[in-house]
Amino acid sequence: MTQALRLGTRRSPLALHQARMARAALQAVWPELEVELVEMVSDGDRDTRQLQDIAERGIFAHVLERALRDGEIDAAVHSSKDLELTAAEGLELVAWLPREDPRDALVGPPGGTSLLDLPIDATVATGSARRMAGLRTVRADLTPNPIRGNVATRIELSRERGDAGCLLAMAGLTRLGLVAERDDITPVPIDQIVPEAGQGAVVIQARAHVCERTGIAWGRIDDVGTRRAAELEREISLRLGGGCEHPVGVHVELPASTVHAFAAPSPHEAGTRIRMELVGLELAPLLSVASPEDIADAVRWVATQLAPTIAEQLGIEHTLERT
């Protein structure tokens, strides 16, 4: 391989770390492959509004997707929860890296604490509509305090303004080495706040499953277990109306055959959480296939079977009809 692979990434410390993870995975299979990290500033990084006011899930991914379509880069590395739930035209999710801890985490007082043990009427920093509604569901007295920025910025700002804690993704804290360094991080149980679909998963997006410039087959680094669970979460969330402006959480445990789901009317209201134990037949098509195309077909079939029941238990009147 004589041509360097151009791997697009945002410039945040976490995004760059995840791009280096992807580069390491590639070079573990192709040691001679040169990988160039192409850093970009996303539309979401330029927009200073709070995330719940932007109401556009893919705003952190669009600049990378444009660069892919224009041939400026060969692939892009994303936190999967930054991607829109519908497929980007002309692009494929070609490889999923092994998933990190999918839970949310509370960065609170020294020594750590749980949401249940925070002071009465405490404020908790978060920029996520799902986490805002999740907080109100766990404890009606807790007040979400909107916040934006990279991980370190959010932690520091929440401290400066006197919040009792800051809600972040456990995966990002772990990848940045903060879980090992700090004693103030407490994971939030999934049955308290259900994660965003795909949370903890890093995915590579490209125009095709074989890179046209270098000839590498992305499937060589694809973690099939992560793909199965994360794509099913995304499909169910889509059918439940998930997105930045809609508080929806979906987490699938494979092969434990468990689905956690959450939905709320708005970020400012408490929602409903459910946990479903699935029988083997419900997931059999998904667990029996390995190719990306077969997994995509199986995901749609399984979601068709599960989403109506999940929606009914969550009190959602309508789900998206997809075939």
By annotation, the residues acting in catalysis are: 81-82, 130-131, 148, 154, 244
Kindly give the pairing relationship between strand 258-263 and strand 248-253. antiparallel
Which among 76, 87, 81, 79 has a CA at the least distance from the CA of 57? 81
Query: Distance between CA atoms of 105 and 107, rounded to whole angstroms?
Result: 6
The tokens of 41 are what? 């500033």
**If phi over 0 gives left and psi between -120 and 50 gives alpha, with beta otherwise, what is residue 105?**
beta
CA 303 to chain centre: 18
| 107-132: burial string, b at 16+ Cβ within 10 Å, e else | bbeeebbebeebeeebbbbbbbbbbb
Q: How far is CA 77 from CA 5, 40, 204, 267, in A?
A: 13, 11, 5, 28
Query: Distance between CA atoms of 171 and 173, rounded to whole angstroms?
Result: 5
Instruction: State the amino acid at position 34 in one-letter form.
Output: E
Q: Is 221 exposed, middle or buried (0-12, 13-18, 19+ CB in 10 A)?
A: buried
Helix (H, G, I), strand (E, B) or coil at 317: coil
Strand order in the sheet with 272-277: 248-253, 258-263, 272-277
Which among 221, 281, 278, 222 has a CA at the least distance from the CA of 253? 278
